[in-house]
Amino acid sequence: MAPSPSGPASHPRDAAAPTADLPPLPAELADAVARFGKHLDAQRGHSVHTRRAYLADVTGLLRYAVRHGARGLDDVQLPVLRGWLGAQADRGLARATLARRGAAARAFLRWAHHAGLTETDPSTRLASPKVPRTLPTVLTPDAAACLLDTARDVALAAEGDDRPAALRAWAAAELLYGSGIRVGELVAVDVHDVDVRERLVRVLGKGGKERVVPFGVPAARALTAWIDEGRPELAGAATGPALLVGDRGGRWGQRQAREAVHRLAARAGVDDVAPHALRHSAATHLLQGGSDLRSVQEVLGHANLATTQRYTHVDSDRLRQVYAQAFPRA
């Protein structure tokens, strides 16, 4: 479809076609995507996952634009941006996904304008869908203790081939809750990153930022049992320095860690939770215990204090319940 004299052809909010059905990008646009990728590589704070997502989003935008008549970057104007996001909204994509794709488009077009590839930046007028702020799932301190006690009891009672996996699940659950690290950070930890005597673990967080996080005595016990008894049973030629080892001798994966936590929650009879809920629970319990926001921010590795502040809302809910139950004029 050729563009009209006044710009690219109109584009109704039709469902986006599969990638295989979309036209290839013209050389100019493909080169712009490649240069944008190099720009992201040079920026600190972008994880590999963010870079990959941004490039995929930008490529999707440009393919949509080409399909609707765009021939160059200057043809990617506000109607194209709105049509692209609108088509995805009509497909039922979540607001969070739409917000991320809008952010990718803005970052790309802002960079393109500053790089002199476009005369204007139409994304400055692109509204972003508001993402509802949902409170994270949090276990009560008693429920968290129940889950971890169950992990310990199962591990210590396990025998034979079942024991290494049970020790691994115990160590993983204790470290997730005891340090508040992400599951991706957990499975990336190497043996030399853990100081059991000092009860410290070094992790590489989002954006390649390294931090050292403390953990408690129960986690130290679980890690010692795993390192001394469980890991040697599973380690092999493909293990390398990985702290947590899978059943086949390679580094344990995030999916396996999630499955282990789900199984422990079911065994303990508590609410079904994912590893990230243990991180949320750790943050909330730290605040309930009197820790200040800045310290919790350091533990969690949040770049922005506002991200940490959402845990104060969880704590406020708890205080509201206590108030309603205990105050005579509630």
DSSP state of 230: I
Mean pLDDT over 84-96 rounds to 88
Q: Where are the domains of the chain?
A: 27-115, 141-325
Q: Which of 100-104, 257-261, 309-313, 323-327 has the highest mean pLDDT?
A: 257-261
206 counts as catalytic: yes
φ/ψ of 108, rounded to 5, equals -65, -50
82, containing H or E segment: helix 78-90
Per residue in 271-308, pLDDT (tens digit) is 888 898 898 888 888 877 777 667 777 777 766 666 66
pLDDT at 328: 66
Start-to-end Cα distance in the chain: 66
Average pLDDT score over the chain: 83
pLDDT at 16: 39
- Interatomic CA distance for residues 192 and 90, integer angstroms: 49
Taking each helix axis from N to C end, the angle separating 162-179 and 275-288, rounded to the nearest 10 degrees, works out to: 40
Residue of 67, 152, 163, 302 marked catalytic: 302
Percent of the chain with pLDDT over 90: 52
Q: What's the 3-state SS for 117-183?
A: CCCCCHHHHCCCCCCCCCCCCCCCHHHHHHHHHHHHHHHHHCCCCHHHHHHHHHHHHHHHHHHCCCH
Task: Collect all residues with Cβ–Cβ distance below 8 Å to 140 and sequence separation of at least 6.
Answer: none
- Asked whether the beta carbons of 148 and 218 are under 8 A apart, the reply is yes
Residue of 311, 313, 323, 329 marked catalytic: 311
- Interatomic CA distance for residues 327 and 201, integer angstroms: 42
Per residue in 215-258, pLDDT (tens digit) is 999 999 999 999 999 999 999 888 999 999 999 999 999 999 99
CA angle 106, 43, 276 (to 5 degrees): 80
Could you tell me the pTM of the whole model?
0.63
Question: Which string of DSSP letters, residue by residue, matches 245-265?
Answer: B-TTSSBPPHHHHHHHHHHHH
Tokens of 132: 């509802």
302 counts as catalytic: yes
Q: In this structure, how many other beta carbons lie within 10 angstroms of the beta carbon of residue 261?
A: 25
Per residue in 8-36, pLDDT (tens digit) is 444 433 333 344 455 578 899 999 999 99
Of 128 and 115, the structure prediction assigns the larger pLDDT to: 115
221 counts as catalytic: no
Mean pLDDT over 198-208 rounds to 85
Residue of 206, 211, 221, 318 marked catalytic: 206
Residue of 263, 276, 310, 318 marked catalytic: 276
Residue of 182, 231, 251, 280 marked catalytic: 182
Domain 27-115 indexed as CATH 1.20.120: no
Residue of 11, 46, 63, 279 marked catalytic: 279
Enumerate the β-bridge partners of residue 214: 200
311 counts as catalytic: yes
Mean pLDDT over 140-168 rounds to 95
323 counts as catalytic: no
11 counts as catalytic: no
pLDDT at 18: 42
Judged by average pLDDT, the poorest of 30-44, 77-91, 156-170, 226-240 is: 30-44
- Asked whether the beta carbons of 189 and 205 are under 8 A apart, the reply is no
Considering only CA atoms, give the Rg of the chain: 25
Taking each helix axis from N to C end, the angle separating 141-157 and 162-179, rounded to the nearest 10 degrees, works out to: 160
Domain 141-325 indexed as CATH 1.10.150.120: no
